[in-house]
Amino acid sequence: MTIQKPGVRPVTPHFSSGPCPKRPGWSLQVLTDALLGRSHRSKPGKAKLKRAIEQTREVLEVPADYKIAIVPASDTGAVEMAMWSMLGARPVTLLTWESFGEGWVTDVIKQLKLKDATVMRADYGALPDLSKIDWKSDVVFTWNGTTSGVRVPNGDWIAADREGLTICDATSAAFAQPLDFKKLDVVTFSWQKALGGEAAHGMLVLSPRAVQRLESYVPAWPMPKLFRMTKGGKLMDGLFEGETTNTPSMLCVEDYVDALDWAKGVGGLKALIARADANTKALADWVAATPWIDFLAERKEIRSNTSVCLRFTDPAIASLPLDAQAAFAKNVAGMLEKDNVACDIAYYRDAPPGLRIWCGATVEKSDVEALVPWLEWAFASAKEQLPKAA
């Protein structure tokens, strides 16, 4: 039978978890002041880059004594820059509950080949036992698991008197969740996530303890130029004033500054968090009333308010072989993309089959609410296409 399509569509069908939706009202016109055809090392170029750093500090509420740098290769570059520069001075504990956390495990175990490393894993939907961490070690973790929709509930589990450093990949948490900076020594994120900036640039935030590590420890391995943050045993201060190691895209810089201006205009960090929370609540209310869908996160307090991951609980779907479940999820997502209702909401390739819907601050709540009936339509349509039992 033909299932009736809903009458109202989201105004903006972009729900991708990275690159994420542009801020409301964005257009190419906001980039007309970009410093194009000029050196990023020129006086106005440095001023633009420094402005991006200063506005990051203001909007994200980074402590005054923390250093902020713009670095190459997105969040991945920022995390690897920190790990390759700082790890090896003491034992390291790696927390992983989704694919990006597993990527940092690969870096440490297989690339840096650190022998004194402990890996604490949890399945998709859960967190490792955070009470078991040895705080004499350095600890590497993601604040929000982009591919699992699982986040740490807060920073209370991090020891204030820790001896090691905390290296936090916060790329899908920044600007949407309160980060406890006093518990974090390294924080990384990318422009393409929560504020919908353009890709290829990362941000690296260092505490005074992290700076001390950089100035007192020399890793045993060769250090690529892109990873170097010290010279003659001292921090390269220019890096944290906008003197980037490589050439940044000034078009992307302009776009990031525009996103930060928008964030300030809507009320800063508190308002950004509230927008993400409201978007997630709109989905959560629907999930609570819908028998065939649930959050991948096992507990409410660890449920992400940005990369919201959902799984199908309908017995007819859940009982299918994994490859058939994957095909079903892709079919649901494909229908919605074909109708230009929701783009890029299929689950991440390493995650359990389901849907992943970005609910960060650049998404309008009205679009989430308009999406819900379409999810109902796509699920029913995809289920109708399944082979009938004999």
How many Å is the Cα radius of gyration of the chain? 22
- Phi and psi at residue 303, to the nearest 5°: -85, 130
Position 388 confidence tier, pLDDT thresholds 50, 70, 90:
confident
| Measured CA angle at 107 (ends 102, 108), to 5 deg | 95
Residue 96 in domain: yes
In a domain, 210, yes or no: yes
Tens digits of per-residue pLDDT, 266-318?
999 999 999 999 999 999 999 999 999 999 999 999 999 999 999 999 999 99
CATH number at residue 256: 3.40.640.10
**Long-range contact list for 330-338, CB < 8 A, 24+ apart?**
331/382, 331/385, 332/375, 332/378, 332/379, 332/382, 333/378, 335/378, 335/381, 335/382, 336/13, 336/374, 336/375, 336/378, 337/13
Report pLDDT for 385.
Answer: 94
Q: What is the pLDDT of residue 9?
A: 97
Q: Are residues 245 and 292 part of one domain?
A: no
Residues 275 and 350 occupy one common structural domain: yes
Average pLDDT over residues 218-226: 95
Q: Which of 263, 298, 327 is the last residue of a domain?
A: 263
Residues 257 and 293 placed together within one structural domain of the fold: no
**259 within domain boundaries:** yes
Please report whether residue 199 resides in a domain.
yes
354: CATH? 3.90.1150.10
Residue 292 lies in a domain: yes
Do residues 214 and 75 both lie within one domain? yes
What is residue 390's predicted lDDT score, i.e. its pLDDT? 44
Give pLDDT tens digits for 45-59: 999 999 999 999 999
Identify whether residues 187 and 236 lie together within a single domain.
yes
Do 251 and 288 lie in one domain? The reply is no
Instruction: Give the Cα-Cα-Cα angle 246, 101, 84 (nearest 5 degrees).
Output: 40
Domain boundary among 217, 234, 263: 263
Do 12 and 365 form a contact (C-beta atoms < 8 A)? no
What pLDDT digit, counting tens, does each position of 321-372 carry? Answer: 999 999 999 999 999 999 999 999 999 999 999 999 999 999 999 999 999 9
Contact in structure between 111 and 224 (CB atoms under 8 Å): no
Q: Residue holding tokens 């009982």? A: 319
Is residue 279 one of the residues assigned to a domain? yes
* Percent with pLDDT over 90 in the chain: 98
Both tokens of 319, joined, read 């009982």
What average pLDDT is seen over the chain?
97
Q: What number is the average pLDDT over the span 139-152?
A: 98
Per-residue pLDDT, 256: 98
The verdict on residue 218 lying in a domain is yes
For position 289, what pLDDT does the model report?
Answer: 98
58 shares its domain with 177: yes
State whether 199 and 51 are in the same domain: yes
89 and 220 assigned to the same domain: yes
pLDDT band at 3 (very low <50, low <70, confident <90, very high): confident
Residue 380: C-alpha distances to residues 302, 307, 312 (Å): 29, 24, 12
* Domain-embedded: residue 3: no
Q: Mean pLDDT over residues 145-162, rounded? A: 98
Residue 364's domain comprises 267-384
Residues 196 and 344 in one domain: no
CB 23 within 8 A of CB 195: yes
pTM for this model (two decimals): 0.97
Give the number of domains in the chain. Answer: 2
Whether 195 contacts 83, CB under 8 Å: no
